[in-house]
Structure 1
Amino acid sequence: MSELMSEKALPQRSSLLPMLLIGILFFVFGFVTWLNGALIPFLKIACQLNEFQALLVAFVFYIAYFVMALPMSALLTRFGYKNGMVIGLAVMCAGALLFIPAALTAQFSLFLLALFVLGTGLTILQTATNPYIVCIGPRSSAAMRISCMGIVNKGAGFIVPLLFSAWILTGMDAYSNEALAQLSSDELQQMLMQLSQRLITPYLLMSAVLLGLMAFVWWSPLPELQLETNTDDDSRNWRAVLRYPQVLLGMLTLFCYVGVEVIAGDTIGLFGQGLGVAHFGSLTSYTMAFMVVGYVLGILCIPRWLSQQQALLLSALCGIGFTCGVLLSPADSLQLSQTMIGWTGVPAVPDPVFYLALLGLANALVWPAVWPLALQGLGRLTATASALLIMGIAGGAVLPLLYGGLAQAGGSQQAYWLLLPCYGMILFYAVKGHKIQRRL
């Protein structure tokens, strides 16, 4: 008999404190992750990159999840979830500090190394915290709890592009293609070096905050997960989890989901920049704002009016519809954003850009819905299954890079057709894939 995950791995009275502590970590996830959306167009200028090269920022950050997920699950098995969180924060701190020599030298390869180390630290944290949220309460409301974490995560994603734009992207008119083309080679290198060095102070502050969080988590009364066990030796063998189809299909679904989420959040700045949007550095905030709306709807509706499976189905259908809007809308029309948000005073954007931002609404409930469906009935295999699901985050590395290649070859707007088969996979998992639970 397979092991079963306890419905209440922690006592109910202890759930609030872990939620608060994990919520702080989810804010860190969002701050570090969605900084990439503003960092990509910044490094495109500072390191003189084409669109494909600029999206290597997303590639190396998210490929760390794929490369390091299984080793990090072994680390959690040995040291526990709480200690794993501390180790993850330490690795992230090292990654933030690596930005200092990268900014001083304006070497793109050093930026990529720093991003990989940051991604490795986040891999440890994600592998520990996502099953933690699933296990600290009833499974039927797991998507609601993850939605709470999502609001914190995407709230940070909403804030960070605005901060980055105000602090780092001021005076960017001096770095336009036309302005840079008029400079001599030496003047150009000096200007780009000065631009790159704007990153030093923010990443020094980030490293200090991460050090503080390490101490906070270390001394916090965060309880260790206690999962039901039996004598099944499969719990000691990571290959055992490969016999659970809902986990493998869940990993593929998350691969597609994270890919479309990163494309919607990280390429919107490049897309808007290409269409002449002046505030391109803050466009990621549009996507994050709609994701926050989606998470709020998830908290209100799951499980009272929507099951987790129904939320996943609705997300997939909305994603397909909004992607069609990105592909088919005229790039010179501002009508949609003027109608929907013009009354708020938020600057209008071209309709395809706004549809791309609306994908944040479609994406919001995919991650919260997939995790509890995929981890059903895994018991002591939960950490290993979580690592496999975390490996699906590699979609954030592969699919944006593939989008960059398509955009470089045939145009940014039409390259978004790549999203359609991804939402097709999410639709399949909602309808059929999560139900395939028998062992292979």
Structure 2
Amino acid sequence: MSMTAENKHSSVLPMVIVGILFFIFGFVTWLNGSLIPFLKVICELNEFQALFVTFAFYIAYTFMALPMSYVLHKTGYKNGMALGLAIMAVGALLHIPAALTANFLFFLFGLFVLATGLTILQTASNPYIVHIGPKESAAMRISIMGVINKSAGVLVPIVFTVVILSGMGDISEEHLASLNELQRSQLLSDLSLRLIQPYIIMFAALLLLIGLVKFSALPELDFDDGDIDLINDTKTSITQYPQVILGAIALFAYVGVEVIAGDTIGLYGSSLNVDNFAGLTSYTMVFMVLGYLVGIVCIPRYISQKTALIGSAIAGSFCILGVMFSSTTSTSIADIIWGWSGIPVLPNSITFVALMGLAHALVWPSVWPLALEGIGKFTAQGSALLIMGISGGAILPLLFGKLSQTLGDTQFSYIVGLPCYLFILFYALVGHKMKTWTLK
């Protein structure tokens, strides 16, 4: 990668600006968790229909990542970030007619457009963080972004509850069923209209961010042929880079187990009659933040990106085995780890689900620099392929749910995560080093 004199300046300003963008990623993405039960009420949906919120959001990454990479190639990375924010702003505006009509299809279309903007934003910003400084510390920089991203995820439910639900009283299905048709229709309309102001605020905030990115001193990155390994200087397609294709599969596996660890822990806790099952996702999130902090402190000073990836895969595999075979009644592990703090403890099996967050936290920041190393002008396309791996968050949890339904055993269904971690281990040991599809 050739860099202009401007690129050689301090990376502090770019880190701050991209950090703001990662906060937006987290806020918009984790907002889905609050929207699902909310839209289930106001659009009068069943559980299966409500889950199309997640489908509409993540399917955009699958279908729009490659087209957006070609746009990014034309616009450049700085302008691409601004364009992504502009598309997100349009998606925010689309939620206004959706709220006015309480039309679920409008909401899904708005979510798809929002995610399309996020797709180009992520396709631009992740390689930006990789290349804005020394490649040896890229995982550390992405870990910082991960802490910011997950912090937004912690704030979203609080903000949503305060802004949207405060003063509305009881909106449970039982209460709605007790109202007459006119009362119920009025309450649902009032609830829907409450979404308008937050999305107007989101629209305005995105416009401000467009100006921040567009008119800041954010340096442009120039990926040219000089960034390509000499061995690979005859390659003409991103598909000729095995480390990118395999990296996308590794991220597919990672995002799948990330969503499983965060979104099924409450269901599993409920099946075991854990008192605080509704808030169990916070345990996984806290452990993920701790994992990112480990990356910030230790990479590359004490461990390499490759070593971090190996450790994550092995630790994740042990967590899966722990979930499957440890006690569902004893809280001995949680007693040791945080029982002294006064925070409610969990049965050992559920504790291992939460610990998956710590185990795999460094997968995302470690795969990116390993996958993008030496691909030069193909960086935008490579980044798009990696972004497409996010679709694992939509597909693998469904596989988990189907297996759980078929077996009637949630605990054993976590075996879905074992091949995921094993593939990540393969990528750490072999896959990221593959420069050709021909095995020697």
Equivalent residues in 2 for 1:266-415, closer than 5 Å? 266-268=263-265, 283-328=280-325, 337=334, 340-346=337-343, 353-407=350-404, 410=408, 414-415=412-413
Q: Does 1:434 align with 2:432?
A: yes
Deviations along 1:56-85, one digit per CA (max 9) or x if unpaired, are 222221111111111111111111111111
- Tell me whether 323-332 or 311-320 shows the greater mean CA deviation: 323-332
Q: Is the 8 A contact 1:52 1:408 kept in 2?
A: no
Cα distance in 2 between the residues matched to 1:251 and 1:192: 42
Q: Does 1:40 align with 2:40?
A: no
- Tell me whether 285-294 or 342-351 shows the greater mean CA deviation: 342-351
Q: Please tell me the residue identity of whatever aligns with 2:255.
A: V
Name the CA shift for 1:254/1:13 in 2 (closer, same or farther; >3 Å): same
Q: Does 1:264 align with 2:249?
A: no
CA positional deviation for 1:418: 2.2
Corresponding position of 2:416: 418
- Tell me whether 394-403 or 23-32 shows the greater mean CA deviation: 394-403
Q: Is the 8 A contact 1:7 1:138 kept in 2?
A: no
Q: Is the 8 A contact 1:272 1:280 kept in 2?
A: yes
Corresponding position of 1:247: 244
Cα distance in 2 between the residues matched to 1:137 and 1:187: 59
Q: Does 1:221 align with 2:213?
A: no
Q: Is the 8 A contact 2:246 2:431 kept in 1?
A: yes
Deviations along 1:316-370, one digit per CA (max 9) or x if unpaired, are 2222233344445666666655654455454556655544333221221001100
Q: Is the 8 A contact 1:158 1:289 kept in 2?
A: no
Q: Does 1:14 align with 2:10?
A: yes
Deviations along 1:74-108, one digit per CA (max 9) or x if unpaired, are 11111111111111001111112222232333332
Q: TM-score, normalised by structure 1?
A: 0.86
CA positional deviation for 1:272: 5.5
Q: Please tell me the residue identity of whatever aligns with 1:249.
A: L
Q: Please tell me the residue identity of whatever aligns with 2:115.
A: G
CA positional deviation for 1:375: 1.0
Cα distance in 2 between the residues matched to 1:356 and 1:231: 40
Q: Which residue, 186, 193, 204 being the options, matches 1:208?
A: 204
Q: Is the 8 A contact 1:323 1:416 kept in 2?
A: yes
Cα distance in 1 between the residues matched to 2:328 and 2:93: 40
Corresponding position of 1:157: 153
Q: Is the 8 A contact 1:315 1:365 kept in 2?
A: yes
Aligned length: 434
- Identical pairs, percent: 58
Q: Is the 8 A contact 2:227 2:376 kept in 1?
A: no
Q: TM-score, normalised by structure 2?
A: 0.86
- Tell me whether 407-416 or 249-258 shows the greater mean CA deviation: 407-416
Q: Please tell me the residue identity of whatever aligns with 1:375.
A: L
Return 5+ residue gaps in structure 2 as ranges.
Answer: none
Name the CA shift for 1:282/1:102 in 2 (closer, same or farther; >3 Å): farther
Corresponding position of 2:88: 92
Corresponding position of 2:98: 102
Corresponding position of 1:133: 129
Q: Is the 8 A contact 1:63 1:396 kept in 2?
A: no
Q: Which residue, 53, 56, 61 being the options, matches 1:57?
A: 53
Cα distance in 2 between the residues matched to 1:147 and 1:206: 26
Q: Please tell me the residue identity of whatever aligns with 1:203.
A: Y
Cα distance in 1 between the residues matched to 2:114 and 2:148: 19
Cα distance in 2 between the residues matched to 1:46 and 1:330: 40
Q: Is the 8 A contact 2:3 2:221 kept in 1?
A: no
CA positional deviation for 1:414: 4.8
Q: Is the 8 A contact 1:287 1:359 kept in 2?
A: yes
Cα distance in 2 between the residues matched to 1:86 and 1:134: 19
